[in-house]
Amino acid sequence: MAAISSNDLKNGITLQVEDGLFTVVEFQHVKPGKGGAFVRTKLRNARSGAVIERTYRADERLEQAIIDKRDMQYLYRDGEDYVFMDQVSYDQVSVAAGRLGDAVNFLKETGTVMLILHGDEIVGVELPASVELTIAETEPGIQGDRVSGARKAATLETGLVVQVPLFVGPGEVIKVDTRTGEYITRA
């Protein structure tokens, strides 16, 4: 672990704090008229996603965590685990569904994701901004359904249910935003 000064904090830096791994979401250097300077931060827990606020004295030493990001290809599901292959070394890694969180709703075989590792432990997943998924099941559109902005539920190949326009039917490929889980457009 590398020690850094609180004055060197930047958004995206991951810190090893006594409570666990935290990523800097926001920081602000404050120099009041009286007293010493300090740094006010918002930190996101790398494992749970919870956001906390911490204040550090200026020039306080903090432990920076070494994070490794690897491009991995999703191969298949093995029971409760998801199997990924490293794009460089071709090593296969089994990851429990709980470690992936909501990302399992957007995983498609042969799709690429970025796994975030701290040592040998997987602490997060970075997905592309959008993915293309096939609609497995939805109500068919009826002639005359031309209400602007009307939506219906559609179940995707991964099991995720999204709201789509009335004109979209089963078997069509749509683009879904991975941050919000919402329909974007037909692919």
pLDDT tens for residues 123-134?
878 888 888 999
**pLDDT reported for residue 145:** 58
Higher pLDDT, 146 or 55: 55
**pTM check: above 0.85:** no
Could you give the CA distance from residue 28 to residue 43 in angstroms, rounded to a whole number?
Answer: 12
pLDDT band at 104 (very low <50, low <70, confident <90, very high): confident
Average pLDDT over residues 31-59: 87
Beta strands 130-138; 173-177: pairing state: antiparallel
Lowest mean pLDDT among 22-36, 93-107, 161-175: 93-107
Whether the per-residue pLDDT at 15 is higher than 80: the answer is: yes
What domains can you pick out in the chain, each with its CATH number?
2-64 (2.30.30.30), 68-126 (2.40.50.140), 130-186 (2.40.50.140)
For residue 79, the one-letter residue type is: G
pLDDT band at 146 (very low <50, low <70, confident <90, very high): low
Cα torsion 151, 166, 179, 155: sign: positive
Average pLDDT, the chain: 85
| Closest residue by Cα to residue 72 from 128, 23, 21, 14 | 128
